Amino acid sequence: MKRTVYTKAVTGVLALLVCATAAATAAMATQGSGIDRSGMDAHVRPGDDFYRYANGAWLDQARIPPDDIDVGVFSQLSTLVLQRQRDILEQQMRDPASRLGMFYASFMDKSTIDAKGATPIMPALDAIMHAPDDQALMRVMAGLQQRGIDGLVDVDVSVDDGNPTAYTVMLRQAPLSLPSPNYYLSGDAHLAAVRVGYRDYLERLLGLAGQGNTRARAQAVLALDADFAAVELDRGAAFDATTTYHPMTATALARQAPGIDWPGYLQALKLDAAGTLVVRHPAPIAAIVKRWSQATLSVHKDWLLLRTLDHYARYLSAPFDDAQFAFYGRALQGTSQPSPRWRRGVSLTAWRMKDALGKAYVERYFPPASKTAAERLAQSILAAYRVRITQNSWMAQATKAQALQKLASIKPLVGYPDHWQDDGDLVVARDDLIGNIDRAEQLDYERSLAKLGKPVDRGEWLLSPTVTVGWSNPVTRIVAFPAALLQPPLFDPQADAAVNYGAIGVLMAHEFTHQFDNNGRHYDAQGRVSDWWTKDDSARYDAQADKLVKQYDSYEPLPGLHANGKLTLSENIADLGGVVISHDAYRQSLGGRAATVIDGLSGEQRFFLGYAQMSREVMRRQVLSNEHSLSALRVDTVRNLDAWYRAFNVAPGEKLYLSPPQRVTIW
């Protein structure tokens, strides 16, 4: 069962905060500001291009490694975390009794993998090709979904929006293989070339699996995927809290989406006793099922066959692995060589044995003091949020009261789980990579099913403590900051408070703001979708959000290519809220004292530069489906803060200048 975090998750890096006491401030004055002055471009005025002013010299020197898609602060942190996990796993490999070591070793044993070819997945391929009819094929599909292979419909066990104290089964439109519907449907020459490359990749997979008539079969599968893409909801609509909650029985679902054997399919998924289902996207699912029913059994088999081959390709012999990289890596992402095998093995082990490796990582690299300090930081940001809501000039008292209740219900998870998951039931063999992966996926699926009928665990970590992203869930009101974020290159216990608030504090406040973004704001203090806003307050919120959409729509990062303010609205609201709230927290941390000038920079300047330098990134390309704005545009949100204008003396006539009425204020 897919473990997908459907609430927005922002890539971010957190560090510990040391409050700006007089003693600490004096110490920082001798240690420097923490701002990389050599990476700045003093020839650019802050009011014309703040991102380049903060990062211009660094940008001119940045080079993307041939095996990666970007370079920046976040990729530097990711590399550090991966290397540390590698050290742990290579030590574990020397212990013949270590399941962690055996799992990692099974991926690193390339000679054994190459010798087996496609043999490890032949039972799955045979089951697909020998299915006598569509009903039997749907049962095969259900079995493969329990091993992590995408099916016709995405199925998950999640917290019920309508009853946040319980789990329910959720059905969603299944993810496409390409990044967005545009890749299947657009007449753009580049995207058309990508489609041809994707068809060639599918054809190659069929050939490697010993199939014939590969070109026509690959083209037919691509055409079916294009039919699915044509009816898929866009990301904004797919995540809209007010329109995506549709509880119904399996019988009602079968009536609304006829064309497949729903009872047999759900039974094979072990969900026939689930009772009420929550169908997130009933219209797209009905349309997808209709298009599926119009295709032939042979196309159905090829579609599932190729989904299965694509899922396993990176874990099979070199021809399969090379074919997958040639398309997804070289053609789609622009990388010239694959990541080193050890990096891929670490990532796989960290995903499939997340608690076992996470626990070992925390014991070695994340002391209890770090957790305590990070928890204090989170509380300081929440305290600033309370003040901001209380003093909000556009909200009615009734709405403020509800907002404060919701804020109080938010539960920060910092570092790692209170209780580690036991992987004792997982069978791991050193010479059976595919079996190890399948058994881990199946165990994860069974654990998800076991949640049904049990109380919601608000301490559950959906991701590993070793991932370098934070995430926010408006249903459970959980906001998580994994241990991997709380360390170098951006973890510095002696860092200047202004820089910590500008970089780390902004990112924490960003995640908290997702609880109040254009989607999260519809959830109340219990996690239910509820209209807890007054009509006037809701209208005022939407008016400010629309201003932010228009602001980002006006950006043109490349000639003729405008940013998509609607697609990126949730993240843009969180970016703006992150800077506003963390700036408030920084000011409150000073306790009325003036900040020390360090390296010729005021505290206010260091705050905003810390934010801009944290956001350093150079990417090969930004996919059309990305809900995050480009890094430079994310930094430009500072133009909505009066304090930024004062800090850098930004005046009318400069490119980023907005008159006060043009500036967006939400939180």
Q: What is the pLDDT of residue 423?
A: 85
Percent of the chain at pLDDT above 90? Answer: 78
Give which of 3, 9, 5, 2 is closest to 628, Cα–Cα.
Answer: 9
At 153 the three-state DSSP class reads strand
Residue 232 tokens read as: 């898929």
Q: What is the pLDDT of residue 277?
A: 96
pLDDT band, residue 275 (cuts 50/70/90)? confident
Residue 74 tokens read as: 């976040």
DSSP category for residue 480? E
Least confident range of 217-226, 371-380, 524-533, 538-547: 371-380
Asked whether residue 143 falls in the same domain as residue 276, the answer is yes
Asked whether residue 303 falls in the same domain as residue 276, the answer is yes
Residue listed under structure tokens 């626990």: 359
- Average pLDDT taken over every residue of the chain: 90
Q: What is the pLDDT of residue 10?
A: 29
Asked whether residue 47 falls in the same domain as residue 120, the answer is no
Asked whether residue 519 falls in the same domain as residue 628, the answer is yes
Q: What is the pLDDT of residue 488?
A: 64
Give me the sheet containing 153-160, strands edge to edge: 153-160, 163-173, 277-279, 247-248
Q: Distance (Å, rounded) from C-alpha 359 to C-alpha 414?
A: 14
| Omega prior to 557 cis, within 30 of 0 | no
Residue 100 tokens read as: 């962690």
pLDDT band, residue 32 (cuts 50/70/90)? confident
Which CATH number characterizes residue 500's domain?
Answer: 3.40.390.10
Q: What is the pLDDT of residue 621?
A: 58
Q: What is the pLDDT of residue 13?
A: 30
Asked whether residue 296 falls in the same domain as residue 331, the answer is yes
Q: What is the pLDDT of residue 627?
A: 67
The answer to the question of residue 649 being in a domain is yes
pLDDT digits (tens, 9 = 90+) for 474-515: 999 999 999 998 776 665 666 788 988 898 899 999 999 999
29 has a pLDDT exceeding 50: no
Using the 3D structure, point to which of 338, 360, 376 is the last residue of a domain.
338
The answer to the question of residue 303 being in a domain is yes
The answer to the question of residue 13 being in a domain is no
Q: What is the pLDDT of residue 557?
A: 78
Give which of 226, 237, 222 is closest to 180, Cα–Cα.
Answer: 226
**Terminal-to-terminal C-alpha distance of the chain:** 37
Helix (H) or strand (E) segment spanning residue 157: strand 153-160
Q: Distance (Å, rounded) from C-alpha 586 to C-alpha 576?
A: 15
Which CATH number characterizes residue 155's domain?
Answer: 1.10.1380.10
Q: What is the pLDDT of residue 623?
A: 45
Boundaries of domain holding 220: 109-338
How is 366-412 classified by DSSP, letter by letter? --HHHHHHHHHHHHHHHHHHHHHHHH-SSS-HHHHHHHHHHHHH-EE
Residue 587 CB-density burial (10 A; 0-12 exposed, 13-18 middle, 19+ buried): middle
Least confident range of 15-19, 106-110, 230-234: 15-19
The answer to the question of residue 507 being in a domain is yes
Our count of domains for the chain comes to 2
21 has a pLDDT exceeding 50: no
Give me the sheet containing 478-482, strands edge to edge: 411-415, 478-482, 471-473
